[in-house]
Structure 1
Amino acid sequence: MKMKELLLFLSCVLCVSAYGLHGDVHINGCSDFDAEDMYGLDGEEVAYADFNNHMEVYILPPFAEPMIYPGAYKQAVTELKVCRHNLKALSAVMKDYPSNNHAPSAVMIYTRDEVEFGEENTLICHVTGFYPAPVNVSWTKNGQKVTEGSSTNVPYPNKNGPFTQISRLQFTAQLGDIYSCTVQHLALTEPLTKIYSPIGDPGLRTAGVALLHRLWAC
């Protein structure tokens, strides 16, 4: 198997109150042509490095208190250099390493915020339970492929071993539009596609979410 991508991660558990523990994770990954650096809390993405725009981006809903990682982007650039150095070395060593592949156990599509027709929002395609990383996620609107406004984070490991990966698409909800996210993975015999379409009366400014699951036995 040709080694195409290296994922390095650091995970620690922080005690933030007298009543419970929270898991704080920092993951950075790279390939020959791409890279990502992500911070997460309790299984949710909090921030990531945008290497195209040279900045740290914080993924927080409008009502959340700001959570800032000082110097995060500068650190991400430094770690990217280390990652690519290690990738070059490991690619030669692990080119014939046997694989143990698991297809995604669940794919979900939903919106980040409550939907209001004519208002900007974010569609989220949540893929979990796969190994090895990554998956490839693509989006369509009314049957046409879209790339503008889409982003996919670095895969991060679940507690039981497999990975989770999240892709996002910025969109404006309009009645009758149909969106899809399609997931490809080397353990799948064919791509997985999930559908989302806003429904309801625009006067009531409501929407529905098509949420489907597909499970595979390990």
Structure 2
Amino acid sequence: MSGGDSEGEKAERMAFILALRQHGIRDVAVLRAMELVPRPLFVDPQLRAFAYDDVSLPIPCGQTMSQPSLVAAMTEALGVVAEHAVLEVGTGSGYQAAVLSHLAARVVTVDRYRTLVSEALARYEVLGLRNLTAYVGDGMLGMPSRAPFDRIMVTAAAREIPPALLDQLKLGGVLLIPIGKGDEVQVLVRVVKEQSGNQVRELMPVRFLPLIPGVAATL
């Protein structure tokens, strides 16, 4: 928390972290990262009252911002440490990548919507996050110019794991992705890339919008 936080904001964040603990989040580094990122900055001002509630919220371009407990659970499952390079596919509001930036050496996030990337970059500038960059691009293709990555998180649902993402993952690296149809409940899958083959483990049911190829033409 910054020194400029009001008493009300500090109390909100303390209650926020307590609620995450009650949801089963135990990783101290993840909880600290969640505490350090001011969620209201990533929320529509008209929805400020719900910023710290455990609900998903609408954002521009017909997208959504995941509820905090899911953000924390996915961050914990990814297993990021300080020397890691991380790719996030699906920038959205920019909140998830901001959380990851407090855990990793560098974070790259990509989204098909220029509006979302522009707004995320402005928020990162406000927060002074220098190890975090957002790009407009096709998430299914990852970000080959910045690869390889120790960790990859996908925040949109795919029918199968995009081969390009596995190609950009280091041996021993972890990929987290929702698998299933975009209009149904999906399963969050954790993949560990190994020389002998990929280890795949199903973690939990989730619901994300679909991972769409290409870059949005107008937004």
TM over 0.5: no
Q: Higher helix fraction: Structure 1 or Structure 2?
A: 2
Larger strand fraction of residues:
1
Query: Which has the bigger relative contact order, CA under 8 A and spacing at least 6?
Result: 1
Q: From the CA coordinates, give the structure whose radius of gyration is larger.
A: 1
